[in-house]
Amino acid sequence: MQQEFSRSFDQLNDIVAFTEQVFTDQGIDPSTRYVVDLCVEELFVNMVTYDTETDRDILIEMNACPGGVEVSLTDYGVERFDPRNAGTVDVDAPLEQRTPGGLGLFLVLKMVDSIHYEYRDRNSKITFVARSKEETEEHNVSD
């Protein structure tokens, strides 16, 4: 399933409703829902905040996959930004020594089972997979 959302923080409630509909329609394990909601929100907010050179809508796609869900966010007419190359965050440093920014992407990278980035013709597409804990544990044991 896919839906486009305008570049506005006001769209976050509609995105959550879209996620709920996808999970219901496709029978996706609800245990992955928190991870999906958090990651989609973080990536969407980053696109709206930092990709200011465009006013085009952001496309969100979600589909069931074995043991979880695959989610893609596509931003059109923007510069390259691969979230996998975001700097590291020292979560053990005292607050007064931390540099603001980057914690959201750090959490996304830690919470998803895989993440892929594609950039072509000024279009940026981030795809991640979130699996249920049971599926992730089974997958890791069989590797």
If you write DSSP's letter for every residue of 31-69 in order, what string do you get? Answer: GGHHHHHHHHHHHHHHHHHH-TT----EEEEEEEETTEE
Q: How high is the mean pLDDT of the chain? A: 86
Model confidence band, residue 135 (pLDDT cutoffs 50, 70, 90): low
Q: Give the CATH number of domain 2-142; options: 3.10.105.10, 1.10.1370.30, 3.40.50.300, 3.30.565.10.
A: 3.30.565.10
The pLDDT score that the predictor gives to residue 134 is: 66
Alpha-carbon gap, residue 119 to 80, rounded angstroms: 6
Tokens of 93: 């440093």
Indicate if the pLDDT at residue 97 is higher than 80. Answer: no
Indicate if the pLDDT at residue 98 is higher than 50. Answer: no
Tokens of 82: 């691969």
44-73: average pLDDT: 95
The pLDDT score that the predictor gives to residue 99 is: 53
Note whether 116 and 127 are within 8 A (CB).
Answer: yes
CB atoms within 10 A of CB 102: 14
The pLDDT score that the predictor gives to residue 82 is: 86
* 55 Cβ neighbours under 8 A, 6+ residues apart: 7
Tokens of 31: 């245990």
Indicate if the pLDDT at residue 81 is higher than 60. Answer: yes
Question: Which residue did the predictor score with more confidence, 53 or 15?
Answer: 15
Model confidence band, residue 100 (pLDDT cutoffs 50, 70, 90): very low
112-131: average pLDDT: 96
Numbers of helices and strands, H then E, in the chain: 4, 5
CB atoms within 10 A of CB 65: 16
* Domains of the chain by residue range: 2-142
Partners of 68 in the β-ladder: 65, 131
